[in-house]
Amino acid sequence: MTTHFIEIPSPRPEAVVDDIPKLTLEWHIQDRTVTFKNPATKEKESKAILSDVHGIAAPGQFVAIMGPSGAGKSSLLDILSGRVKDFNGSVLVNGQKWDRRMTQCTCYVIQDDLFYHTLTVKEHLLYQADLRMAPSTTLAQREARVHAVMEQLGLLKCQDSFIGNASNRGISGGERKRLSLATELLTNPSILFVDEPTSGLDSFMAESVVHELQKLANEGRTVIATIHQPSSQIFAMFDMLYLLTNGRTIYYGKANQTVDYFKAKGLNCPSYMNPSDYFMREIIIADPSSTEKVGHLLDAWKNQEALQSEVSTEKLSDIVPMTDGANLHIGLMMQLKVLCQRNIRRLLRDKMAFRARFGQSIVIALLAGLIYLRLDMSQSAIQSYLGALFFITLNQGMLAANSEFVLIPLELPIMLREYEAGLYGSTMWYIAKNISELLVQFFFPMVFLLPLYYLIGFGRFSNDSTDLFFTFYLILSLVTSASVGIGYMVSCAVRRADLAPMIGIVTLMPFVLFGGLLVNTDDTPVYFIWLEYLSPIKYGYRALNRAFWTTIPSIPCAAGQRCAAVNGLQVLENASLNEHSLLYDSLLLIAINIGFRFLGLIALLFTVHKKK
Ligand SMILES: Nc1ncnc2c1ncn2[C@@H]1O[C@H](COP(=O)(O)OP(=O)(O)OP(=O)(O)O)[C@@H](O)[C@H]1O
């Protein structure tokens, strides 16, 4: 008989790990129907994406779910892993209903490997161990576990390499996939759900990742993976094959018996052809003749469907997950600490972003400093000073908000993934982000202000130039922080890196218009007054002006000349900037900052709620 398989030496049961609870998963799905709005007809439509789908996966088995595109593979995996609960039918673990405790014995390895690219492999795993492992574990135990999973998945040699991303080359695609697996293995799960572990990998990398999955199954775990176009070598590593087409099961059984099964149904896989390619071609529904052929195959499977795998006898009540069911989550303070530490480390590591922001601050400061270099105090200079102070406030506000418009949407998928894995609440992530990034909001205003202040010479007319400098610095830091608050609010609400900057600019523009220079406060239309109250630019600009002009006792005014103002106080009065004290504006900057951040949190909670 022609063989379609290549023998791959496999690390069989001698590697079985005793302390993994043995879990058998059994599913009987009558149907899963989705309702959606048809964009063409604008009508609501229902579509059955899975019907009459049954199966069983035992400990030690590596089950591959395959089928043409749209067959329902990911939908099935979502149901089996408990991510989707809206279906008719049941999913049982060792014969009992899936409960929350069991979730701790399973993991879901997603297709998109999402990481903070400036962390190293080992750092990423250590933070994950801090977040995932039971609070009763010691640091030494967590480090030992991280070392063990790195060793298990062949990541030791790249443990100190940056993970990287598309623009900063880091570890390879295969290593990223293995890192995704390693992350989930930290808690030693019994059942692994893996969504397309080989996508985007070359054949060698794909094989090495599937080999790791095979090893994990051989250790006594139940591994269920959706796989696209496996090579013959990869196909030979599957224990069980679950073939779906059009939302229905067309075959489920031993992978190495598939060829014989289909041969008996009249589909003889040609010698030396990859069996998976052959089946995919034969079970795809493309035209009326294939509809009829596939219909016969579906009926044939239905007639002989018998799930023979043995159900594990281990009782669910005896199973103690490694994460220690009673005390799964680390405390809130520990979550906050780990999230803050991780955020600070990844930000400090992002040297490119740091240099770009640093360079941007210096270049703009030098440019503005040279334009307004050592301005004299004269009637014509009043306008220039007002312009310089507005530009300084505007620049800090715009730059600070702008960078957040893009950064949060890029970070949200990582947060959502970790949130779904139950590592922390979204509020805790947001609080940690707010705290850990505060330092940055006080650093860059200093970089910007230091050269600019002395180039323009704001302190020349003051008795205490240093005091004025630090007043300027404090105001600019508060403007920066409030603008970051706007950035958080907009990006948490919009959630898309391509749209958030556009919406962000539209949000900022009214704050700029009513910032105090372009429209005199006394001339603001009544129906837009509320925008003035929310503008950090206005409070910042007004506070800077008050700090500066109160140091100007007189402005030269020649006899017969029409003078706009003869001292600083008059300038403030003419521009309607004399209404409130510096403390008042500073407190309002803090208040709107808290308000924007609070709205950002509400938007984030809404995003998370919608994802559920
Ligand atoms: N929420 C939804 N609304 C509308 N259609 C959906 C929804 N979820 C899934 N589908 C449809 O159900 C079918 C199965 O989708 P699923 O993603 O499970 O297929 P798949 O086999 O994983 O496909 P692929 O291999 O291309 O990823 C597809 O036709 C898909 O368009």
Residue 49 in contact with ligand 1 by CB distance below 6 A: yes
Residue 84 in contact with ligand 1 by CB distance below 6 A: no
The rounded Å distance from CA 33 to ligand 1 centre is 11
The rounded Å distance from CA 70 to ligand 1 centre is 5
pLDDT of residue 6: 43
Pick from 35, 44, 65, 75 the residue to mutate for probing ligand 1's pocket: most ligand atoms within 8 Å of its CB: 75
The rounded Å distance from CA 244 to ligand 1 centre is 12
Q: Would you place residue 101 in the very low, low, confident or very high pLDDT band (cuts 50, 70, 90)?
A: low
Residue 72 in contact with ligand 1 by CB distance below 6 A: yes
Average of per-residue pLDDT values in the chain = 87
The rounded Å distance from CA 313 to ligand 1 centre is 35
Is the pLDDT assigned to residue 3 strictly greater than 90? Answer: no
Residue 46 in contact with ligand 1 by CB distance below 6 A: no
Sign of the CA dihedral running 326, 328, 330, 336: negative
Is the pLDDT assigned to residue 312 strictly greater than 60? Answer: no
Task: Please state the rounded mean pLDDT for residues 314-340.
Answer: 67
Residue 36 in contact with ligand 1 by CB distance below 6 A: yes
Residue 68 in contact with ligand 1 by CB distance below 6 A: no
- Picking from 27-36, 40-49, 337-346, 460-469, which range would have the lowest pLDDT averaged per residue? 40-49
Nearest CA, atom 2, ligand 1: 34
- Residues 371 and 30: their CA atoms lie apart, in Å, by 74
- Classify 169 as helix, strand or coil: coil
Q: Which residues pair with 48 in a beta bridge?
A: 33
pLDDT of residue 342: 96
Single-letter amino acid code for the residue at 156? L
pLDDT of residue 424: 92
Closest Cα to residue 105, out of 325, 309, 313, 317?
Answer: 325
Looking at residue 321, the DSSP 8-state letter turns out to be -
Q: How many CB atoms lie within 10 A of CB 107?
A: 24
Nearest atom, ligand 1, residue 247 CA: 14
Nearest CA, atom 6, ligand 1: 34
Q: Would you place residue 560 in the very low, low, confident or very high pLDDT band (cuts 50, 70, 90)?
A: confident
The rounded Å distance from CA 109 to ligand 1 centre is 18
- Residues 441 and 474: their CA atoms lie apart, in Å, by 11
CA dihedral 196, 200, 202, 203 (to 10 degrees): 20
Is the pLDDT assigned to residue 598 strictly greater than 90? Answer: yes
Task: Please state the rounded mean pLDDT for residues 144-160.
Answer: 92
Sign of the CA dihedral running 592, 595, 600, 601: positive
Nearest CA, atom 25, ligand 1: 69
pLDDT of residue 134: 82
Sketch the domain layout of the chain as residue ranges: 332-554+562-611
Looking at per-residue confidence, does 4 or 381 come out higher? 381
Task: Give the model confidence (pLDDT) of 333-376 as tens digits.
Answer: 999 999 999 999 999 998 888 999 999 999 999 999 999 999 99
pLDDT of residue 12: 39
Is the pLDDT assigned to residue 442 strictly greater than 90? Answer: yes
- Classify 552 as helix, strand or coil: coil
Q: Would you place residue 317 in the very low, low, confident or very high pLDDT band (cuts 50, 70, 90)?
A: low
Is the pLDDT assigned to residue 5 strictly greater than 60? Answer: no
Rounded CA Rg of the chain = 32
Residue 48 in contact with ligand 1 by CB distance below 6 A: no
Pick from 38, 73, 77 the residue to mutate for probing ligand 1's pocket: most ligand atoms within 8 Å of its CB: 73
pLDDT of residue 160: 95
- Residues 140 and 278: their CA atoms lie apart, in Å, by 50
Task: Give the model confidence (pLDDT) of 528-539 as tens digits.
Answer: 888 889 999 999
The rounded Å distance from CA 552 to ligand 1 centre is 70
Residue 357 in contact with ligand 1 by CB distance below 6 A: no
Task: Please state the rounded mean pLDDT for residues 103-123.
Answer: 86
Closest Cα to residue 55, out of 255, 276, 258, 249?
Answer: 249
Looking at per-residue confidence, does 590 or 281 come out higher? 590
